[in-house]
Structure 1
C-alpha cells in the first residue's frame, strides 16, 4: 500500500465506487478506495435498486435524469465492455389517493416535465393496461414514467470498481478506515484532515472523502471529534425491512414498479427473481443505534401489514406466502436528502452521507458531480442545495410528500 494519495475514499458502496471511477476518469489524480469488508458489503448490497426520476426536489430530479441515462447504457457510460448493471426497463407507476397527495402529484408531474422528465398523468384504464394486476378503485391520481426501472446493485457497484481499477484506482477490501488523521490547520487550534488510519497503517491524502453512510457518526467519534461535531452531522440511522411474496401466478420481471402513496408507510413494490414481488416501505423504519448490530428478523406485524396491503392492491396476492426477507440500514438526514460538500470546520474532508434510501438511483450523477467539484470543475448539477451547512441555516430540502424516501 502506498503511503500517499491525492484522494482517499472511505466506503466501497455505490457512492464511493462512483466517485472513485469519476475521479480517475476525469483526471490523473491518484485515488485509493477503502472498504471495511468486500466492496458493496454494506447498505448498497441490500438496496432494492429502484430507479425513477419522480422527485419533488428539483435537484434530485436533475441528478436522477442524468443517472438514468447511465443505467440505460451502462457499458457505454463507463467505457467498459465487460461491465453490467442489470437494468430492467419496467417503468414506474406512482399512485395517490383523493385529497392533497393527488393534487401534489399532479403539480409535481408538471414540474418534472419542465425539467425534462418523461413522465405524465394517466387514468385508471391506462394504468390497468400497463399493470393488469392492480386494483385502483381507491386511487385518484396516477403518474407514469416509461423510461424508469430497476437494476442489480452489486453488479452496478462492481462495474464501477472494475472500471476504476482499470484507470489506476487502488482498491483495498477488508481495510476499514478506522480513524481520520487530524493535524492543526495552519498553526491554529482548528484541525484539518490529512489522511486516514487503517489496520495497515496511516495513509496520507490531499483530500479524504467519507462515503461510509450509516457509519459516518462512528467514524467521527472514533477519530476523536467532539460530541458536538458528531451531533452536527444531523444523521440518524434506521433499519429497513424488505419482504418478498409469492402469489397465485408468476410475477414477471417487466411488470412496472409501483409506489403507493395511499398507505401510511408509502409502500413500493417491484418484480424480483423467482417470479415473486419485492415489497418495501418509504417510511423511517426502526431506529438503529449501531448499524453493525442490526436484527435480521422481519417483525410479524410488518409482514402481516405488508401482506394485507399488497393483497388489497393486487388481489392475486391476497394471503400471499412470504418467500424471503432481509434488512438494510438507512442513513437519514432531517430532510431525507443527502449531505454533499466539504465538512464545515474540518478542511481536507469531503462528506457524502445521508442518502435516506435513494442513494443508489442518484449514484452515477453524484459520483461525477462530486468528482468535478473535488477537481475544481463546475459540476453538471449544482450540489449547493446539499451542502452540510444547510442544517445550521434551516435551509432544508423538503419534498412535497412529507418525510420519506420519495422526496
Structure 2
C-alpha cells in the first residue's frame, strides 16, 4: 500500500464515493478511499433511495436539483458508458391534512418554484389520475414533482467507485480507518490530522475526509479525541426500519413516491421489487448507541401501525401481508441537516456526516461541492450553512415541517 496521498477518504458509501470521484475528476490530486467492508455495505446499502427536491431549506433544494440532473443522466454525468444508477422517474407526491401543514406546503411549493424546482400544487382528482390506488378524503393539500423518483443505492455507489478508480483513485475495501493520525510534536501543528491508521499500517494525508456517517463518534473516540470534541459533533444515531407489504395486485414500479404528512410518523412509500410497496418513516426512529449493535427485527407495533396506515391510504393494502423488512442507521443532527466543513480544532480533517436521511439524494451535488471546496474552488452551492460551528452559533437549518427527514 502506498504510504501517502493528498486526500484520504474514510467511508465508502455514496457520499464518500462521490467525493472521491469528483476530487479525481477535478484535479490531479492523489486520492484514496477506505471502507471497513465492501463499498456500500453501511447505511447507503440500506437506503430507500428516494429522489426529490421537496425541501423547505433553500440550500437543500439547490443541492437536490443538481443531484437530480445527475440521476437523470448518470452515464453522461460520470463520463462512463457502463455505469448505472437505476433511476425510475415515477414522480413524487406529498400529502398534507388540513391546518398548518397545508399552509406550509403551499408556501413551500412557491418557494421551491422560485428556486427552479419543477413542483406544483394539484387537486385530489389530478392526484388520483397519477396514482389511482390512493384514498385522499382526508387530504387538504397536495404537491407534485414530476421529475423525481427513486434509484438503486448500490448501483449508484458502485458507479461512482468504478468511475473514481478509472481516474486513479485507490480504493481499499475491508480496510477500516481505525484511527485518525494526529501530529503530536507539541508545537503549532499539535492536533493536526496528518493521516489515518489502518490494519495495514499508517497512511499519511494532506487532508482526511471523514464520511463514515453514523460511525463518526466512534472514529473520534477511537482516535483519542476528547469527550468534549465528541459531544461537539452534536450527532445522534437511530435505527430505522423499512417494511415491504404485498397485496392481491401488483404495485407497479411506475407509481409515484408518496410522502404522507397526515400521519405523525411522516410515512413515505414507494414501489419495491416484486410488485410490493416499500414503507418507511420520517421520524427519529429508535435511539442507537452503537451502529454495529443494531437488532434486525422489525417491532410488531411498528408493523401493525404501518400496515394500518398503508391500508388507510391505499384500500387495496388493507390487511396486507408483510413480505420483507430491514434496518439501517440514521446519523442525525439537531436540525436534521448534514455537517459539511473543516473540523473545528482539528486542522487537516474535513467532516461529512449527519445526513439525517438526506444523504443519498444529495450525494452527487455534495460530492462535487465538497471536492471543489477542498481544492480551493468556489462550490456550485455554498456549503457555509452546513458548517460544523452552526450548532454553537445557534444558526440551525430549520425546516417548515418540524424535526424530521422532510426538512
Cα offset, 1:188, TM superposition: 3.3
Asked if the contact 1:194/1:204 (under 8 Å) is kept, the reply is: yes
Partner of 1:355: 355
- Distance in 1 separating the partners of 2:38 and 2:290: 19
Give the Cα separation in 2 of the matches to 1:49 and 1:85.
Answer: 10
> 1:139 — aligned with what?
139
Q: Deviations over 1:152-204 (max 9, x none)?
A: 00000000000000000000000000000001488138410000000000000
- 2:299 matches 1:305: no
Q: How does 1:142-181 map to 2 (within 5 A)?
A: 142-181=142-181
- Answer whether contact 1:6 1:30 (CA < 8 A) is retained: yes
* Distance in 2 separating the partners of 1:186 and 1:375: 28
Equivalent residue, structure 1, for 2:8: 8
Q: 1:225 & 1:368 partners in 2: Cα distance?
A: 29
Secondary structure of 1:274's counterpart equals helix
| SS of equivalent to 2:263 | coil
- Equivalent pairs, count: 407
User: Could you list the per-position Cα deviations for residues 270-294 of structure 1 after superposition, in whole angstroms to 9, with x for gaps in the alignment?
Assistant: 0010000000000000000000000
CA distance in 1, matches of 2:202, 2:238: 31
SS in 1 for 2:401: coil
Q: How does 1:243-282 map to 2 (within 5 A)?
A: 243-282=243-282
**Distance in 2 (alpha carbons) for counterparts of 1:31 and 1:188:** 26
Find the aligned partners of 2:9 and 2:190 in 1 and give their Cα distance: 22
Q: CA deviation at 1:352?
A: 0.1
SS at match of 1:218: helix
Q: Distance in 1 between matches of 2:38 and 2:264?
A: 36
| Match in the other structure for 2:124 | 124
Query: 1:63–1:365: 8 Å Cα contact kept in structure 2?
Result: yes
TM-score by length of 1: 0.99
Please say if residues 282 and 406 of structure 2, whose CA atoms lie closer than 8 Å, have aligned partners that are also in contact: yes
Change (3 A) 1:189 1:26: closer
Q: Which consecutive unaligned segments of at least 5 residues does structure 2 have?
A: none
- Asked if the contact 1:15–1:367 (Cα under 8 Å) also holds between the matched residues in 2, the reply is yes
Between the aligned partners of 1:171 and 1:185, the Cα distance in structure 2 is 31
How big is the alpha-carbon RMSD for the aligned residues of Structure 1 and Structure 2?
0.8
Q: CA deviation at 1:297?
A: 0.0
User: 1:225 is paired with a residue of what secondary structure?
Assistant: coil
User: For 1:20-39, what aligned pairs fall within 5 Å after superposition?
Assistant: 20-39=20-39
Contact 2:105–2:141, Cα closer than 8 Å, also in 1: yes
The runs of 5 or more residues in structure 1 that have no matched partner are none
Q: Match of 1:328, SS?
A: strand
CA distance in 2, matches of 1:280, 1:72: 24
Aligned to 2:283: 283
Distance apart, 1:406 and its partner CA: 0.3
With over 3 angstroms needed to count, the CA separation of the structure-2 counterparts of 1:404 and 1:185, relative to structure 1, is farther
Q: Which residue of 1 aligns with 2:231?
A: 231
For residues 173-212 of structure 1, the aligned pairs below 5 Å read 173-184=173-184, 187-188=187-188, 190-212=190-212
TM-score by length of 2: 0.99
**Contact 2:90 2:148 survives alignment (8 Å):** yes
Question: Which contiguous aligned blocks of 4+ residues in structure 1 show a shift greater than 2 angstroms?
Answer: none
Shift in CA distance, 61/186, structure 1 to aligned 2, threshold 3 Å: farther
Displacement of 1:384 in angstroms is 0.2
Secondary structure of the residue aligned to 1:155 is: helix
Q: Structure 1, residues 363-390: CA drift from partner, whole Å, max 9, x if none?
A: 0000000000000000000000000000
CA shift, 1:329, in A, is 0.1
The offset of 1:136, in angstroms, is: 0.2
Q: How far is 1:139 from its partner?
A: 0.2
Tell me the secondary structure at the aligned position of residue 183 of structure 2: strand
Would the aligned equivalents of 2:182 and 2:190 in 1 still touch at CA under 8 Å?
Answer: no
